[in-house]
Structure 1
Amino acid sequence: MDMDSMQLFNIVLTGVLRGGLYALMAVGLSLVFGVMNIPNFAHGEFYMLGAYFSYFTYTYFHFGPISSILLAAVGTFILGAIAEKTLFYPLRKRSKKNWIMNTFLLTLGISIVLQNGAKMLWGNTYRGITQYWPGKVSIASFNISNDRIAGFCIAMVTIAIFWLFLNKTTMGRAIRAVSQDETGASIVGVNLNVIHTLTFALSCLLAGLAGAILLSISPAYPFMGVQPLYKSWFVLILVGMGNIGASIYGGLLVGLLETFAYMKFGSGWQDVVSLAIIIMILIFKPRGLFAKKGVKSVSE
Protein backbone atom coordinates (compact mmCIF):
# COMPACT_ATOMS: atom_id res chain seq x y z
CA MET A 1 0.00 0.00 0.00
CA ASP A 2 1.55 3.36 -1.10
CA MET A 3 1.61 6.47 1.11
CA ASP A 4 -1.46 8.11 -0.48
CA SER A 5 -3.50 4.95 -0.12
CA MET A 6 -2.26 4.54 3.45
CA GLN A 7 -3.27 8.10 4.34
CA LEU A 8 -6.71 7.66 2.75
CA PHE A 9 -7.21 4.43 4.66
CA ASN A 10 -6.23 6.15 7.93
CA ILE A 11 -8.68 9.00 7.27
CA VAL A 12 -11.54 6.65 6.48
CA LEU A 13 -10.86 4.36 9.44
CA THR A 14 -10.47 7.20 11.96
CA GLY A 15 -13.47 9.02 10.54
CA VAL A 16 -15.71 5.96 10.76
CA LEU A 17 -14.66 5.26 14.35
CA ARG A 18 -15.35 8.88 15.31
CA GLY A 19 -18.56 9.05 13.30
CA GLY A 20 -20.02 5.99 15.00
CA LEU A 21 -20.11 7.86 18.32
CA TYR A 22 -21.52 10.98 16.63
CA ALA A 23 -24.26 8.79 15.17
CA LEU A 24 -25.16 7.39 18.59
CA MET A 25 -25.56 10.90 20.02
CA ALA A 26 -27.40 12.21 16.97
CA VAL A 27 -29.92 9.34 16.93
CA GLY A 28 -30.94 10.19 20.50
CA LEU A 29 -31.28 13.91 19.73
CA SER A 30 -33.19 13.19 16.52
CA LEU A 31 -35.53 10.80 18.34
CA VAL A 32 -36.69 13.34 20.91
CA PHE A 33 -37.15 16.04 18.27
CA GLY A 34 -38.93 13.76 15.80
CA VAL A 35 -41.38 12.36 18.36
CA MET A 36 -41.82 15.17 20.89
CA ASN A 37 -40.72 18.26 18.91
CA ILE A 38 -38.20 19.11 21.61
CA PRO A 39 -34.89 20.75 20.61
CA ASN A 40 -33.00 19.24 23.53
CA PHE A 41 -30.08 21.48 24.43
CA ALA A 42 -29.47 19.44 27.58
CA HIS A 43 -28.55 16.37 25.51
CA GLY A 44 -24.85 16.96 26.13
CA GLU A 45 -25.39 16.98 29.90
CA PHE A 46 -26.82 13.47 29.82
CA TYR A 47 -23.66 12.52 27.90
CA MET A 48 -21.73 14.09 30.80
CA LEU A 49 -23.76 12.20 33.41
CA GLY A 50 -23.16 8.93 31.57
CA ALA A 51 -19.41 9.56 31.77
CA TYR A 52 -19.62 10.26 35.52
CA PHE A 53 -21.79 7.21 36.19
CA SER A 54 -19.36 4.97 34.35
CA TYR A 55 -16.36 6.52 36.10
CA PHE A 56 -17.75 5.93 39.60
CA THR A 57 -19.02 2.40 38.92
CA TYR A 58 -15.72 1.43 37.27
CA THR A 59 -13.26 3.03 39.71
CA TYR A 60 -15.12 3.04 43.06
CA PHE A 61 -17.31 -0.05 42.81
CA HIS A 62 -14.92 -2.01 40.52
CA PHE A 63 -17.50 -3.14 37.99
CA GLY A 64 -16.19 -4.41 34.66
CA PRO A 65 -16.19 -2.22 31.52
CA ILE A 66 -19.42 -3.59 30.04
CA SER A 67 -21.24 -3.48 33.40
CA SER A 68 -20.10 0.11 34.02
CA ILE A 69 -21.22 1.24 30.57
CA LEU A 70 -24.60 -0.51 30.90
CA LEU A 71 -25.20 0.92 34.37
CA ALA A 72 -24.43 4.40 33.04
CA ALA A 73 -27.01 3.83 30.30
CA VAL A 74 -29.60 2.66 32.83
CA GLY A 75 -28.83 5.61 35.11
CA THR A 76 -29.34 8.20 32.37
CA PHE A 77 -32.50 6.38 31.22
CA ILE A 78 -33.99 6.72 34.71
CA LEU A 79 -32.96 10.38 35.01
CA GLY A 80 -34.44 11.07 31.57
CA ALA A 81 -37.75 9.49 32.58
CA ILE A 82 -37.81 11.56 35.79
CA ALA A 83 -37.02 14.76 33.87
CA GLU A 84 -39.81 14.12 31.38
CA LYS A 85 -42.39 13.39 34.07
CA THR A 86 -41.48 16.28 36.37
CA LEU A 87 -40.64 18.99 33.82
CA PHE A 88 -41.89 18.31 30.29
CA TYR A 89 -45.19 16.65 31.20
CA PRO A 90 -46.44 19.65 33.24
CA LEU A 91 -45.21 22.03 30.53
CA ARG A 92 -47.08 20.03 27.88
CA LYS A 93 -50.29 20.35 29.89
CA ARG A 94 -49.96 24.12 30.16
CA SER A 95 -48.14 25.12 26.98
CA LYS A 96 -50.13 24.64 23.79
CA LYS A 97 -48.47 27.47 21.86
CA ASN A 98 -44.78 28.21 21.34
CA TRP A 99 -43.90 24.65 22.35
CA ILE A 100 -40.54 24.58 20.57
CA MET A 101 -39.41 27.89 22.07
CA ASN A 102 -40.61 26.91 25.56
CA THR A 103 -38.87 23.53 25.48
CA PHE A 104 -35.74 25.14 24.06
CA LEU A 105 -35.62 27.49 27.06
CA LEU A 106 -36.43 24.64 29.45
CA THR A 107 -33.67 22.37 28.11
CA LEU A 108 -31.23 25.27 28.18
CA GLY A 109 -32.10 25.77 31.85
CA ILE A 110 -31.70 22.05 32.55
CA SER A 111 -28.30 22.18 30.88
CA ILE A 112 -27.11 25.03 33.10
CA VAL A 113 -28.47 23.38 36.26
CA LEU A 114 -26.82 20.03 35.46
CA GLN A 115 -23.49 21.64 34.57
CA ASN A 116 -23.34 23.66 37.78
CA GLY A 117 -24.75 20.79 39.85
CA ALA A 118 -21.96 18.53 38.60
CA LYS A 119 -19.44 21.28 39.37
CA MET A 120 -20.75 21.60 42.93
CA LEU A 121 -20.76 17.84 43.51
CA TRP A 122 -17.52 16.83 41.83
CA GLY A 123 -15.61 20.05 41.17
CA ASN A 124 -13.75 20.95 37.99
CA THR A 125 -11.41 17.97 38.31
CA TYR A 126 -11.14 15.74 35.26
CA ARG A 127 -12.15 12.21 36.20
CA GLY A 128 -11.09 9.61 33.69
CA ILE A 129 -9.55 6.19 33.34
CA THR A 130 -6.51 5.01 31.45
CA GLN A 131 -8.38 2.38 29.49
CA TYR A 132 -11.25 -0.08 29.65
CA TRP A 133 -9.56 -2.69 27.50
CA PRO A 134 -5.74 -2.64 27.43
CA GLY A 135 -3.80 -2.84 24.21
CA LYS A 136 -3.96 -1.72 20.61
CA VAL A 137 -4.74 -3.24 17.25
CA SER A 138 -2.46 -2.62 14.26
CA ILE A 139 -4.24 -2.29 10.94
CA ALA A 140 -1.99 -1.55 7.97
CA SER A 141 0.65 -0.07 10.33
CA PHE A 142 -2.03 2.16 11.90
CA ASN A 143 -2.43 1.62 15.66
CA ILE A 144 -5.94 1.89 17.14
CA SER A 145 -6.68 1.46 20.82
CA ASN A 146 -8.97 -1.39 21.80
CA ASP A 147 -11.18 1.17 23.55
CA ARG A 148 -11.91 2.98 20.28
CA ILE A 149 -12.73 -0.23 18.46
CA ALA A 150 -14.88 -1.53 21.32
CA GLY A 151 -16.63 1.84 21.60
CA PHE A 152 -17.48 1.85 17.91
CA CYS A 153 -18.75 -1.73 18.07
CA ILE A 154 -20.92 -0.98 21.12
CA ALA A 155 -22.32 2.11 19.38
CA MET A 156 -23.18 0.17 16.21
CA VAL A 157 -24.73 -2.73 18.14
CA THR A 158 -26.79 -0.27 20.19
CA ILE A 159 -28.03 1.49 17.05
CA ALA A 160 -28.92 -1.87 15.47
CA ILE A 161 -30.86 -2.96 18.58
CA PHE A 162 -32.58 0.42 18.68
CA TRP A 163 -33.56 0.09 15.00
CA LEU A 164 -35.00 -3.38 15.65
CA PHE A 165 -36.88 -2.02 18.66
CA LEU A 166 -38.45 0.78 16.60
CA ASN A 167 -39.40 -1.47 13.69
CA LYS A 168 -40.18 -4.86 15.23
CA THR A 169 -41.84 -4.21 18.60
CA THR A 170 -45.29 -2.88 19.47
CA MET A 171 -43.85 -0.07 21.61
CA GLY A 172 -41.35 0.87 18.91
CA ARG A 173 -44.08 1.04 16.28
CA ALA A 174 -46.13 3.19 18.67
CA ILE A 175 -43.19 5.62 18.94
CA ARG A 176 -42.97 5.79 15.14
CA ALA A 177 -46.73 6.33 14.90
CA VAL A 178 -46.58 9.25 17.34
CA SER A 179 -43.70 10.81 15.38
CA GLN A 180 -45.79 10.66 12.18
CA ASP A 181 -49.20 11.68 13.54
CA GLU A 182 -49.66 12.23 17.25
CA THR A 183 -53.41 12.84 17.03
CA GLY A 184 -54.01 9.77 14.87
CA ALA A 185 -51.91 7.60 17.19
CA SER A 186 -53.91 8.82 20.17
CA ILE A 187 -57.21 8.02 18.41
CA VAL A 188 -56.19 4.39 17.84
CA GLY A 189 -55.30 3.94 21.51
CA VAL A 190 -51.63 4.85 21.88
CA ASN A 191 -50.90 6.24 25.35
CA LEU A 192 -49.09 9.47 24.52
CA ASN A 193 -47.83 10.05 28.06
CA VAL A 194 -46.10 6.66 28.14
CA ILE A 195 -44.60 7.18 24.69
CA HIS A 196 -43.32 10.65 25.53
CA THR A 197 -41.67 9.47 28.75
CA LEU A 198 -40.14 6.42 27.06
CA THR A 199 -38.91 8.49 24.12
CA PHE A 200 -37.16 11.07 26.27
CA ALA A 201 -35.67 8.38 28.51
CA LEU A 202 -34.34 6.44 25.50
CA SER A 203 -32.81 9.61 24.08
CA CYS A 204 -31.01 10.24 27.38
CA LEU A 205 -29.90 6.60 27.49
CA LEU A 206 -28.19 6.93 24.09
CA ALA A 207 -26.41 10.11 25.19
CA GLY A 208 -25.31 8.57 28.49
CA LEU A 209 -24.08 5.48 26.71
CA ALA A 210 -21.91 7.59 24.41
CA GLY A 211 -20.39 9.42 27.38
CA ALA A 212 -19.66 6.14 29.16
CA ILE A 213 -18.09 4.56 26.08
CA LEU A 214 -15.68 7.48 25.60
CA LEU A 215 -14.61 7.79 29.25
CA SER A 216 -11.06 6.59 28.62
CA ILE A 217 -10.70 9.04 25.71
CA SER A 218 -12.70 11.99 27.07
CA PRO A 219 -12.64 12.14 30.90
CA ALA A 220 -15.69 13.29 32.83
CA TYR A 221 -15.96 16.95 33.84
CA PRO A 222 -18.97 19.29 34.22
CA PHE A 223 -18.80 21.06 30.85
CA MET A 224 -17.79 18.15 28.65
CA GLY A 225 -21.21 17.90 26.99
CA VAL A 226 -20.94 21.11 24.95
CA GLN A 227 -18.88 19.72 22.06
CA PRO A 228 -20.89 16.46 21.67
CA LEU A 229 -24.08 18.53 21.66
CA TYR A 230 -22.76 20.73 18.85
CA LYS A 231 -21.70 17.69 16.85
CA SER A 232 -25.14 16.15 17.28
CA TRP A 233 -26.79 19.31 15.99
CA PHE A 234 -24.39 19.39 13.04
CA VAL A 235 -25.60 15.92 12.10
CA LEU A 236 -29.28 16.77 12.53
CA ILE A 237 -29.06 19.91 10.42
CA LEU A 238 -27.12 18.00 7.78
CA VAL A 239 -29.62 15.15 7.38
CA GLY A 240 -32.89 16.85 8.39
CA MET A 241 -34.51 17.39 11.76
CA GLY A 242 -36.20 14.33 13.24
CA ASN A 243 -34.81 11.95 10.62
CA ILE A 244 -33.65 9.15 12.91
CA GLY A 245 -32.45 6.69 10.26
CA ALA A 246 -30.42 9.25 8.30
CA SER A 247 -28.73 10.41 11.53
CA ILE A 248 -26.62 7.24 11.38
CA TYR A 249 -25.24 8.11 7.95
CA GLY A 250 -24.92 11.75 8.94
CA GLY A 251 -22.84 10.89 11.99
CA LEU A 252 -20.45 8.82 9.92
CA LEU A 253 -20.26 11.55 7.27
CA VAL A 254 -19.46 14.28 9.81
CA GLY A 255 -16.82 12.02 11.37
CA LEU A 256 -15.18 11.49 7.98
CA LEU A 257 -15.28 15.19 7.07
CA GLU A 258 -13.76 16.26 10.38
CA THR A 259 -11.01 13.65 10.20
CA PHE A 260 -10.15 14.67 6.64
CA ALA A 261 -10.01 18.37 7.63
CA TYR A 262 -7.86 17.62 10.68
CA MET A 263 -5.35 15.47 8.79
CA LYS A 264 -5.15 17.78 5.77
CA PHE A 265 -5.27 21.24 7.37
CA GLY A 266 -4.45 20.74 11.04
CA SER A 267 -6.11 21.16 14.42
CA GLY A 268 -9.11 23.48 14.56
CA TRP A 269 -10.04 23.12 10.91
CA GLN A 270 -12.44 20.23 11.58
CA ASP A 271 -14.92 22.63 13.20
CA VAL A 272 -14.45 25.18 10.42
CA VAL A 273 -15.29 22.59 7.77
CA SER A 274 -18.33 21.34 9.70
CA LEU A 275 -19.68 24.85 10.22
CA ALA A 276 -19.08 25.81 6.59
CA ILE A 277 -21.05 22.79 5.41
CA ILE A 278 -23.88 23.51 7.86
CA ILE A 279 -24.10 27.12 6.62
CA MET A 280 -24.30 25.89 3.01
CA ILE A 281 -27.00 23.38 3.95
CA LEU A 282 -29.06 26.06 5.72
CA ILE A 283 -28.79 28.36 2.71
CA PHE A 284 -29.45 25.92 -0.13
CA LYS A 285 -31.32 23.01 1.50
CA PRO A 286 -32.65 24.15 4.88
CA ARG A 287 -34.68 20.97 5.45
CA GLY A 288 -31.50 18.87 5.33
CA LEU A 289 -30.12 16.45 2.77
CA PHE A 290 -32.48 13.61 3.75
CA ALA A 291 -35.39 15.59 5.22
CA LYS A 292 -38.65 13.74 5.75
CA LYS A 293 -41.83 15.13 4.28
CA GLY A 294 -43.72 17.31 6.71
CA VAL A 295 -40.78 17.92 9.04
CA LYS A 296 -39.94 21.55 9.63
CA SER A 297 -36.53 22.89 8.86
CA VAL A 298 -34.33 24.52 11.46
CA SER A 299 -35.06 27.93 10.04
CA GLU A 300 -38.86 27.54 10.22
Structure 2
Amino acid sequence: MDPIQLFNIVLTGLLRGGLYALMAVGLSVVFGVMNIPNFAHGEFYMLGAYFSYFAYTNFHFGPVSSILCAALGTLIIGAVMEKTLFYPLRKRSKKNWIMNTFLLTLGISIVLQNGAKMLWGNTYRGITQYWPGNISIDSFKISNDRVVGFSIAMLTIAVFWLFLNKTRMGRAIRAVSQDETGASIVGVNLNVIHTLTFALSCLLAGLAGAILLSISPAYPFMGLQPLYKSWFVLILVGMGNVGASIYGGLIVGLLETFSYMKFGAGWQDVVSLAIIILILIFKPRGLFAKKGVKSISE
Protein backbone atom coordinates (compact mmCIF):
# COMPACT_ATOMS: atom_id res chain seq x y z
CA MET A 1 0.00 0.00 0.00
CA ASP A 2 1.55 3.29 -1.12
CA PRO A 3 1.78 6.25 1.30
CA ILE A 4 -0.84 8.33 -0.57
CA GLN A 5 -3.42 5.53 -0.38
CA LEU A 6 -2.63 4.97 3.29
CA PHE A 7 -3.05 8.69 3.98
CA ASN A 8 -6.42 8.68 2.18
CA ILE A 9 -7.66 5.72 4.21
CA VAL A 10 -6.53 7.25 7.51
CA LEU A 11 -8.08 10.62 6.69
CA THR A 12 -11.38 9.07 5.62
CA GLY A 13 -11.45 6.91 8.74
CA LEU A 14 -10.79 9.86 11.03
CA LEU A 15 -13.53 11.95 9.42
CA ARG A 16 -16.00 9.09 9.77
CA GLY A 17 -14.86 8.32 13.32
CA GLY A 18 -15.40 11.91 14.46
CA LEU A 19 -19.13 11.62 13.82
CA TYR A 20 -19.21 8.20 15.53
CA ALA A 21 -17.54 9.81 18.53
CA LEU A 22 -20.18 12.56 18.70
CA MET A 23 -22.97 9.97 18.74
CA ALA A 24 -21.17 7.75 21.22
CA VAL A 25 -20.50 10.59 23.68
CA GLY A 26 -24.24 11.30 23.87
CA LEU A 27 -25.09 7.64 24.37
CA SER A 28 -22.32 7.24 26.94
CA VAL A 29 -23.27 10.22 29.11
CA VAL A 30 -26.92 9.16 29.47
CA PHE A 31 -25.84 5.66 30.47
CA GLY A 32 -23.12 6.91 32.80
CA VAL A 33 -25.40 9.32 34.66
CA MET A 34 -28.85 7.71 34.44
CA ASN A 35 -28.12 4.03 33.68
CA ILE A 36 -30.35 4.22 30.61
CA PRO A 37 -29.35 2.01 27.65
CA ASN A 38 -30.94 4.37 25.14
CA PHE A 39 -32.03 2.36 22.11
CA ALA A 40 -33.90 5.40 20.78
CA HIS A 41 -30.63 7.34 20.39
CA GLY A 42 -30.63 6.75 16.64
CA GLU A 43 -34.09 8.27 16.32
CA PHE A 44 -32.84 11.57 17.72
CA TYR A 45 -30.17 11.40 15.03
CA MET A 46 -33.02 10.98 12.56
CA LEU A 47 -35.00 13.90 14.03
CA GLY A 48 -31.92 16.11 13.83
CA ALA A 49 -31.60 15.33 10.13
CA TYR A 50 -35.27 16.17 9.50
CA PHE A 51 -35.15 19.40 11.52
CA SER A 52 -32.08 20.57 9.65
CA TYR A 53 -33.59 19.63 6.29
CA PHE A 54 -36.79 21.60 6.87
CA ALA A 55 -34.90 24.58 8.30
CA TYR A 56 -32.55 24.61 5.30
CA THR A 57 -35.06 23.96 2.50
CA ASN A 58 -38.42 25.29 3.75
CA PHE A 59 -37.28 28.24 5.87
CA HIS A 60 -34.08 28.96 3.90
CA PHE A 61 -31.83 29.10 6.96
CA GLY A 62 -28.08 28.99 6.43
CA PRO A 63 -26.05 25.82 7.14
CA VAL A 64 -25.02 26.82 10.67
CA SER A 65 -28.52 28.08 11.58
CA SER A 66 -30.09 24.87 10.26
CA ILE A 67 -27.72 22.70 12.30
CA LEU A 68 -28.37 24.81 15.41
CA CYS A 69 -32.14 24.44 14.86
CA ALA A 70 -31.71 20.67 14.81
CA ALA A 71 -29.66 20.80 18.02
CA LEU A 72 -32.23 22.99 19.76
CA GLY A 73 -35.18 20.91 18.56
CA THR A 74 -33.74 17.61 19.77
CA LEU A 75 -32.69 19.25 23.07
CA ILE A 76 -36.28 20.35 23.73
CA ILE A 77 -37.80 17.02 22.70
CA GLY A 78 -35.30 15.17 24.88
CA ALA A 79 -36.14 17.33 27.91
CA VAL A 80 -39.89 16.88 27.40
CA MET A 81 -39.49 13.14 26.92
CA GLU A 82 -37.43 12.76 30.09
CA LYS A 83 -40.02 14.66 32.14
CA THR A 84 -43.05 12.87 30.71
CA LEU A 85 -41.71 9.31 30.42
CA PHE A 86 -38.53 8.65 32.39
CA TYR A 87 -39.32 10.77 35.43
CA PRO A 88 -42.63 8.93 36.19
CA LEU A 89 -40.92 5.60 35.54
CA ARG A 90 -38.12 6.52 37.96
CA LYS A 91 -40.71 7.33 40.65
CA ARG A 92 -42.60 4.06 40.22
CA SER A 93 -39.89 1.62 39.20
CA LYS A 94 -36.92 1.32 41.54
CA LYS A 95 -36.15 -2.28 40.61
CA ASN A 96 -35.12 -3.57 37.18
CA TRP A 97 -34.44 0.00 36.08
CA ILE A 98 -32.08 -0.90 33.24
CA MET A 99 -34.45 -3.50 31.77
CA ASN A 100 -37.44 -1.17 32.11
CA THR A 101 -35.67 1.74 30.45
CA PHE A 102 -34.37 -0.56 27.71
CA LEU A 103 -37.95 -1.58 26.91
CA LEU A 104 -39.14 2.03 27.15
CA THR A 105 -36.47 3.34 24.77
CA LEU A 106 -37.16 0.48 22.37
CA GLY A 107 -40.81 1.52 22.37
CA ILE A 108 -39.87 5.18 21.86
CA SER A 109 -37.72 4.14 18.90
CA ILE A 110 -40.61 2.32 17.22
CA VAL A 111 -43.02 5.21 17.87
CA LEU A 112 -40.61 7.82 16.50
CA GLN A 113 -39.81 5.76 13.41
CA ASN A 114 -43.43 5.20 12.53
CA GLY A 115 -44.39 8.75 13.52
CA ALA A 116 -41.80 10.10 11.08
CA LYS A 117 -43.07 7.72 8.40
CA MET A 118 -46.66 8.89 8.95
CA LEU A 119 -45.71 12.59 8.90
CA TRP A 120 -43.11 12.66 6.13
CA GLY A 121 -43.47 9.36 4.30
CA ASN A 122 -40.69 7.07 3.07
CA THR A 123 -39.20 9.70 0.80
CA TYR A 124 -35.52 10.45 1.25
CA ARG A 125 -35.06 14.12 2.06
CA GLY A 126 -31.57 15.47 1.63
CA ILE A 127 -29.54 18.33 0.27
CA THR A 128 -26.66 18.46 -2.19
CA GLN A 129 -24.19 20.29 0.02
CA TYR A 130 -24.12 22.72 2.91
CA TRP A 131 -20.75 24.09 1.86
CA PRO A 132 -20.13 23.56 -1.89
CA GLY A 133 -16.72 22.49 -3.07
CA ASN A 134 -14.00 20.01 -2.25
CA ILE A 135 -10.57 19.99 -0.70
CA SER A 136 -7.96 18.38 -2.96
CA ILE A 137 -4.94 16.60 -1.52
CA ASP A 138 -2.87 15.24 -4.38
CA SER A 139 -5.33 13.02 -6.30
CA PHE A 140 -7.64 12.66 -3.31
CA LYS A 141 -10.72 14.87 -3.02
CA ILE A 142 -12.89 15.25 0.03
CA SER A 143 -16.02 17.35 0.29
CA ASN A 144 -16.07 20.49 2.39
CA ASP A 145 -19.13 19.09 4.18
CA ARG A 146 -17.13 16.19 5.60
CA VAL A 147 -14.30 18.40 6.77
CA VAL A 148 -16.58 21.04 8.30
CA GLY A 149 -18.79 18.31 9.81
CA PHE A 150 -15.78 16.70 11.47
CA SER A 151 -14.65 20.10 12.76
CA ILE A 152 -18.10 20.83 14.23
CA ALA A 153 -18.17 17.39 15.86
CA MET A 154 -14.74 17.85 17.47
CA LEU A 155 -15.58 21.39 18.58
CA THR A 156 -18.85 20.20 20.11
CA ILE A 157 -17.09 17.39 22.00
CA ALA A 158 -14.46 19.84 23.26
CA VAL A 159 -17.12 22.29 24.47
CA PHE A 160 -19.03 19.44 26.11
CA TRP A 161 -15.87 18.26 27.88
CA LEU A 162 -15.23 21.79 29.16
CA PHE A 163 -18.84 21.99 30.31
CA LEU A 164 -18.50 18.75 32.29
CA ASN A 165 -15.19 19.69 33.87
CA LYS A 166 -15.24 23.47 34.28
CA THR A 167 -18.82 24.45 35.11
CA ARG A 168 -20.82 23.94 38.27
CA MET A 169 -23.63 22.13 36.45
CA GLY A 170 -21.14 19.91 34.65
CA ARG A 171 -19.47 18.96 37.92
CA ALA A 172 -22.90 18.16 39.33
CA ILE A 173 -23.52 15.80 36.40
CA ARG A 174 -20.21 14.08 37.08
CA ALA A 175 -21.02 13.83 40.80
CA VAL A 176 -24.36 12.15 40.05
CA SER A 177 -22.64 9.68 37.72
CA GLN A 178 -20.23 8.67 40.51
CA ASP A 179 -22.55 8.65 43.53
CA GLU A 180 -26.18 9.67 43.07
CA THR A 181 -27.02 9.41 46.78
CA GLY A 182 -23.99 11.41 47.86
CA ALA A 183 -24.69 14.10 45.27
CA SER A 184 -28.26 14.38 46.51
CA ILE A 185 -27.07 14.76 50.13
CA VAL A 186 -24.85 17.73 49.25
CA GLY A 187 -27.72 19.51 47.52
CA VAL A 188 -27.64 18.45 43.86
CA ASN A 189 -31.14 18.46 42.36
CA LEU A 190 -31.31 15.03 40.76
CA ASN A 191 -34.41 15.80 38.70
CA VAL A 192 -32.73 18.79 37.05
CA ILE A 193 -29.55 16.82 36.37
CA HIS A 194 -31.43 13.88 34.88
CA THR A 195 -33.49 16.10 32.57
CA LEU A 196 -30.45 18.11 31.49
CA THR A 197 -28.36 14.99 30.90
CA PHE A 198 -30.97 13.29 28.75
CA ALA A 199 -31.63 16.50 26.79
CA LEU A 200 -27.92 17.04 26.11
CA SER A 201 -27.55 13.44 24.98
CA CYS A 202 -30.40 13.95 22.50
CA LEU A 203 -28.82 17.22 21.34
CA LEU A 204 -25.55 15.46 20.47
CA ALA A 205 -27.40 12.81 18.45
CA GLY A 206 -29.50 15.42 16.66
CA LEU A 207 -26.40 17.44 15.88
CA ALA A 208 -24.75 14.42 14.27
CA GLY A 209 -27.81 13.80 12.09
CA ALA A 210 -27.92 17.44 11.01
CA ILE A 211 -24.20 17.56 10.18
CA LEU A 212 -24.45 14.49 7.94
CA LEU A 213 -27.62 15.56 6.08
CA SER A 214 -25.85 16.10 2.76
CA ILE A 215 -24.18 12.68 3.03
CA SER A 216 -27.02 10.71 4.66
CA PRO A 217 -30.48 12.12 3.76
CA ALA A 218 -33.30 12.12 6.29
CA TYR A 219 -35.38 8.93 6.33
CA PRO A 220 -37.62 7.43 9.05
CA PHE A 221 -35.40 4.39 9.64
CA MET A 222 -32.01 6.03 9.17
CA GLY A 223 -31.09 5.91 12.88
CA LEU A 224 -30.48 2.17 13.11
CA GLN A 225 -26.96 2.15 11.67
CA PRO A 226 -25.67 5.11 13.75
CA LEU A 227 -27.15 3.45 16.85
CA TYR A 228 -25.22 0.26 16.13
CA LYS A 229 -22.00 2.23 15.63
CA SER A 230 -22.52 4.07 18.91
CA TRP A 231 -22.91 0.80 20.78
CA PHE A 232 -19.81 -0.58 19.07
CA VAL A 233 -17.87 2.36 20.46
CA LEU A 234 -19.32 2.03 23.97
CA ILE A 235 -18.58 -1.68 24.18
CA LEU A 236 -15.08 -1.04 22.87
CA VAL A 237 -14.16 1.64 25.44
CA GLY A 238 -16.40 0.74 28.39
CA MET A 239 -19.94 1.75 29.28
CA GLY A 240 -20.34 5.31 30.53
CA ASN A 241 -16.76 6.30 29.66
CA VAL A 242 -17.34 9.62 27.90
CA GLY A 243 -13.70 10.64 27.50
CA ALA A 244 -12.64 7.37 25.91
CA SER A 245 -15.66 7.45 23.57
CA ILE A 246 -13.77 10.02 21.51
CA TYR A 247 -10.86 7.63 20.94
CA GLY A 248 -13.28 4.76 20.44
CA GLY A 249 -15.17 6.59 17.70
CA LEU A 250 -11.95 7.33 15.84
CA ILE A 251 -10.78 3.73 16.25
CA VAL A 252 -14.04 2.32 14.88
CA GLY A 253 -13.97 4.79 11.98
CA LEU A 254 -10.41 3.78 11.05
CA LEU A 255 -11.17 0.09 11.49
CA GLU A 256 -14.19 0.25 9.20
CA THR A 257 -12.35 2.21 6.52
CA PHE A 258 -9.42 -0.21 6.47
CA SER A 259 -11.82 -3.18 6.34
CA TYR A 260 -13.77 -1.66 3.48
CA MET A 261 -10.66 -0.88 1.45
CA LYS A 262 -9.06 -4.27 2.15
CA PHE A 263 -12.01 -6.68 1.88
CA GLY A 264 -14.79 -4.74 0.15
CA ALA A 265 -18.28 -3.49 0.98
CA GLY A 266 -20.06 -5.22 3.86
CA TRP A 267 -16.91 -6.46 5.55
CA GLN A 268 -16.54 -3.39 7.74
CA ASP A 269 -19.47 -4.53 9.90
CA VAL A 270 -18.18 -8.11 10.00
CA VAL A 271 -14.76 -7.02 11.24
CA SER A 272 -16.27 -4.60 13.78
CA LEU A 273 -18.61 -7.25 15.18
CA ALA A 274 -15.84 -9.83 15.37
CA ILE A 275 -13.69 -7.45 17.43
CA ILE A 276 -16.63 -6.55 19.67
CA ILE A 277 -17.27 -10.25 20.35
CA LEU A 278 -13.62 -10.74 21.29
CA ILE A 279 -13.72 -7.74 23.62
CA LEU A 280 -16.89 -9.05 25.30
CA ILE A 281 -15.19 -12.41 25.85
CA PHE A 282 -11.76 -11.28 27.04
CA LYS A 283 -12.30 -7.74 28.38
CA PRO A 284 -16.03 -7.24 28.96
CA ARG A 285 -15.57 -3.94 30.82
CA GLY A 286 -14.02 -2.36 27.73
CA LEU A 287 -10.49 -1.50 26.68
CA PHE A 288 -10.34 1.78 28.62
CA ALA A 289 -12.39 0.86 31.67
CA LYS A 290 -10.83 1.37 35.11
CA LYS A 291 -11.58 -1.22 37.72
CA GLY A 292 -13.97 -0.02 40.40
CA VAL A 293 -14.43 3.39 38.79
CA LYS A 294 -17.56 4.79 37.24
CA SER A 295 -16.94 8.24 35.83
CA ILE A 296 -18.19 10.03 32.75
CA SER A 297 -15.13 12.27 32.68
CA GLU A 298 -12.44 9.63 32.20
Alignment TM-score, normalising by the size of structure 2: 0.98
Q: Gaps (5+ residues) in structure 1?
A: none
Task: Say which SS state the counterpart of residue 30 (structure 2) adopts.
Answer: helix
Match of 1:236 in 2: 234
Aligned residue among 278, 282, 297 for 1:284:
282
Amino acid at match of 1:156: M
How do 1:17-96 residues align onto structure 2 when only pairs under 5 Å count?
17-96=15-94
Task: Say which SS state the counterpart of residue 2 (structure 2) adopts.
Answer: helix
Residues 15 and 255 in structure 1, CA contact (< 8 A), matched pair in contact too: yes
Residues 241 and 295 in structure 1, CA contact (< 8 A), matched pair in contact too: no
Root-mean-square deviation (Å): 0.9
CA–CA separation in structure 1 for the residues paired with 2:107 and 2:187: 33
Match of 2:212 in 1: 214
Match of 1:202 in 2: 200
Amino acid at match of 2:62: G
Q: Which ranges of 4 or more aligned residues in structure 1 deviate by more than 6 Å? A: none
How do 1:103-252 residues align onto structure 2 when only pairs under 5 Å count?
103-252=101-250
Amino acid at match of 1:105: L
CA–CA separation in structure 2 for the residues paired with 1:50 and 1:127: 12
Amino acid at match of 2:29: L
Amino acid at match of 1:30: S
Instruction: Note the alpha carbon deviations across 1:199-248, whole angstroms, 9 max, x for none.
Output: 00000000000000000000000000000000000000000000000000
Instruction: Note the alpha carbon deviations across 1:79-117, whole angstroms, 9 max, x for none.
Output: 000000000000000000000000000000000000000
Task: Say which SS state the counterpart of residue 227 (structure 1) adopts.
Answer: helix
Aligned residue among 5, 11, 14 for 1:13:
11
Percentage identity across paired residues of the two chains: 90
Amino acid at match of 2:34: M
CA–CA separation in structure 1 for the residues paired with 2:35 and 2:292: 13
Amino acid at match of 2:4: M
The number of equivalent residue pairs is 294
Amino acid at match of 1:203: S
Amino acid at match of 2:174: R
Amino acid at match of 1:139: I
Quote the offset at 1:12 in angstroms.
Answer: 0.5
Q: Gaps (5+ residues) in structure 2?
A: none
CA–CA separation in structure 1 for the residues paired with 2:271 and 2:72: 35
